[in-house]
Amino acid sequence: MSYVVRFTRTERVLHWVNAAFFLHLTATGLILYVPRLSELVGRRPLLKNLHFWGGIGWVCALALVFLLGDTRRLVRVARELEVLRDDRFDVGQKLNAIVQAAFVVLFLVSGVLLWLGERDTSFRFSSTVLLHDGLLYVALVLFVGHLYLAVVHPATRHALRGMALGTVEEEWARRRHPEWEAPPARGGNALPKDAVRT
Amino acid sequence: MKAIDEPRIVPTSVSRADGRIAGTISGDVDEPAPKRYGRGLFLATVAGGLSSLVWGKTVWSGLSSAVPSVPLVPSGWRIYTVAATMPRFDRRTWRLEVGGLVGEPMTLDYDALRALPRTEEERDFHCVTGWSVSNVHWGGVRLSDLLERVQPGLGAHAVRFTSAEIPYVDDLTLDQAKLSDVLLAYEMDGKPLPREHGAPVRLVMPRMYGYKSVKWVARVDLVARPHPGFWELRGYDPDAWLP
């Protein structure tokens, strides 16, 4: 069976670092948010610290991967995502990535505002907590859909291999992403042709 | 036109590598520019989210009155606790100690507390983390009445409320504590105070954010000067006046 390269190491590290922090923040955030869980776990100061510093760690970790990893590659990925047509990613994957990236900014801004507002109430706005909660709902729906497509849905679940190991079956790539000119695995971390040309 | 009709050779990154921005892509005359909606979507999402800091509350109030409340999700109250478990109220063993710098210290059991003159307050509750509950109906004892009974000493300038939820504690200055609308509440909305709201009795300081209104009050002590309370040691303002 022949394989083609879908994700480089930097891309995979970025994805899994993001995923780890997303899960940490979702878990601690839900405990802080759902009354039943809040009552069950208690320890609010500890949970708040874990959640707040998890959020700060999230953006710092993403920035570190961007700076210490293959920066040029990630810049190209961003350009790839800008064009909403099927190639290495389909349009749904691109929309998901774009919206979740925007949510990182919004989660950070609303979270820092909540933190500030508790310490200086001139920063306390009644809509901040609603924005933070609303983002959670949408992000959770997107995340569940993403999990379903990556782990369960037969037509797309092979993509999980790409995010885990970097390579996907060539036959699957041709069938699922016919517009993507995938580099063969032998070429190591070669770029998809679309992104290579400069 | 389908995407396939576009020349797939179009190097989508060229203009970017040249440092030009999306709107100025002209490309060759016979090559249509690729549709770069991604950045627009990103910026629109960020802008929409940030602007919701202005319109979010209004829209949400309209929505939440139209849609029935969902279980599990906070509707109004959110329950914040700092210890691993909430204190449990046992009517037989529960006591409220009122002491410190006072002439007549008191120990009240639940019946003695309920036997004190009763008063009511209907006020909005505001949490510093952003949520509020309107028109909460409290029933209980006016704190100023209780303070009169124990006769604060001359050196007493603050009141310390110690929660059965260890280590939660918070202080009011004596002047703040004497305000006529400060209660030790044992009823909420016509029913005995529920466990998660501080049963059997909590402080209600309706002019300040909720972290001043200590739940599960176990001790009230007159002290010389106010000390920072639980959240105040973590950065909150000791004088948490509502705007």
Mean pLDDT taken over chain B:
85
Domain-located, residue B20:
no
Closest by Cβ to B82, choosing from A44, A101, A198: A44
Contact between B74 and A99 using a beta-carbon 8 Å cutoff: no
CB B202 within 8 A of CB B217: yes
Rounded to an integer, what distance in angstroms lies between the CA atom of residue A172 and that of residue B61? 48
Contact between A44 and B37 using a beta-carbon 8 Å cutoff: no
Partners of residue B17 in chain A, C-beta under 8 Å: 198
Write the burial class of residue A194 (CB in 10 Å: 0-12 exposed, 13-18 middle, 19+ buried): buried
Partners of residue B131 in chain A, C-beta under 8 Å: 126, 129
Partners of residue B52 in chain A, C-beta under 8 Å: 127, 130-131, 134
Closest by Cβ to A114, choosing from B41, B86, B129: B129
Partners of residue B39 in chain A, C-beta under 8 Å: 82
Q: Compute the nearest-CA separation of A165 from chain B (Å).
A: 26
Contact between B45 and A103 using a beta-carbon 8 Å cutoff: yes
The pLDDT of residue A126 is: 82
Q: Which of A118, A137, A177 to mutate to test the interface with B (most CBs of B within 10 A)?
A: A118
CA distances from A70 to A132, A194, B71, B134, B166 (A): 32, 17, 46, 53, 50
Looking at the predicted structure, is the pLDDT value of residue B18 above 80?
Answer: no
Closest by Cβ to A128, choosing from B14, B53, B237: B53
Low-confidence winner among A64-68, A188-192, B34-38, B220-224 (lowest mean pLDDT):
A188-192
Domain-located, residue B141:
yes
Block residue for tokens 């005995």: B192
Looking at the predicted structure, is the pLDDT value of residue B149 above 60?
Answer: yes
Identity (one letter) of the amino acid at B142?
Answer: R
Rounded to an integer, what distance in angstroms lies between the CA atom of residue A84 and that of residue B4? 14
Q: Domain span at residue B159? A: 96-234
Closest by Cβ to A39, choosing from B22, B86, B234: B86
Partners of residue A41 in chain B, C-beta under 8 Å: 84
Q: What is the CATH number of the domain that holds B130?
A: 3.90.420.10
Q: Do the strands A167-169 and A3-5 form a parallel or antiparallel pair, or are they unpaired?
A: antiparallel
Q: What are phi and psi of B206, to 5 degrees?
A: -70, -10
Closest by Cβ to B78, choosing from A35, A82, A114: A35
CB A70 within 8 A of CB A59: no
For residue A191, how many other CB atoms are within 10 A of its CB?
20
Q: Do the strands B119-126 and B106-108 form a parallel or antiparallel pair, or are they unpaired?
A: unpaired
Low-confidence winner among A40-49, A182-191, B147-156 (lowest mean pLDDT):
A182-191
Return residues 18-47 of B near A (CB < 8 Å). 22, 34-39, 41-43, 45-46
Write the burial class of residue B29 (CB in 10 Å: 0-12 exposed, 13-18 middle, 19+ buried): exposed
Rounded to an integer, what distance in angstroms lies between the CA atom of residue B15 and that of residue B8? 16
Block residue for tokens 């100690």: B97
The pLDDT of residue B33 is: 65
Mean pLDDT of B122-145: 93
Low-confidence winner among A22-31, A178-187, B135-144 (lowest mean pLDDT):
A178-187
CA distances from A160 to A127, A173, B49 (A): 37, 12, 31
Of 3.30.460.10, 1.20.970.10, 1.20.950.20, 1.20.120.1200, the CATH number of A3-196 is: 1.20.950.20
Q: Compute the nearest-CA separation of B228 from chain A (Å).
A: 14
What the block records as the tokens of A132 is: 């933070």
- Residue B161 or A124, more confident: B161
Contact between A98 and B42 using a beta-carbon 8 Å cutoff: yes
> Number of Cβ pairs closer than 8 Å across A and B?
152
For residue A23, how many other CB atoms are within 10 A of its CB?
12
With cut-offs at 50, 70 and 90, classify the pLDDT of residue A121. confident
Partners of residue A72 in chain B, C-beta under 8 Å: none
With cut-offs at 50, 70 and 90, classify the pLDDT of residue B76. confident
Domain-located, residue B161:
yes
Q: What is the pLDDT of residues B85-111, one digit of tens each?
A: 889 999 999 999 999 999 999 999 999
Q: DSSP letter at B221?
A: E
Q: Closest Cα to residue A106, out of B75, B85, B52?
A: B52
Helices in A42-90 by DSSP H: which ranges?
44-68, 71-82
Contact between B36 and A83 using a beta-carbon 8 Å cutoff: yes
Contact between B52 and A130 using a beta-carbon 8 Å cutoff: yes
The number of domains in chain B is: 1
CB A3 within 8 A of CB A158: no
With cut-offs at 50, 70 and 90, classify the pLDDT of residue B231. very high
Looking at the predicted structure, is the pLDDT value of residue B23 above 50?
Answer: no
Rounded to an integer, what distance in angstroms lies between the CA atom of residue B152 and that of residue B99? 9
Looking at the predicted structure, is the pLDDT value of residue B17 above 70?
Answer: no
B79 touching A, CB under 8 A? yes
- Residue B21 or A103, more confident: A103
For residue B69, how many other CB atoms are within 10 A of its CB?
9
ipTM of the complex: 0.85
CA distances from A67 to A34, A70, A72, A105 (A): 36, 8, 9, 18
- Residue A86 or B163, more confident: B163
Q: Is the dihedral of CA B151, B154, B160, B164 positive or negative?
A: negative
Domain-located, residue B124:
yes
Low-confidence winner among A54-58, A107-111, B176-180, B235-239 (lowest mean pLDDT):
B235-239
The pLDDT of residue B73 is: 60
What the block records as the tokens of B5 is: 């009709």
Mean pLDDT of B4-22: 41
Domain-located, residue B58:
no
Q: A49-71: b or e for each residue (b if 16 or more CB lie within 10 Å)?
A: ebbbebbebbeebbeebeeebbe
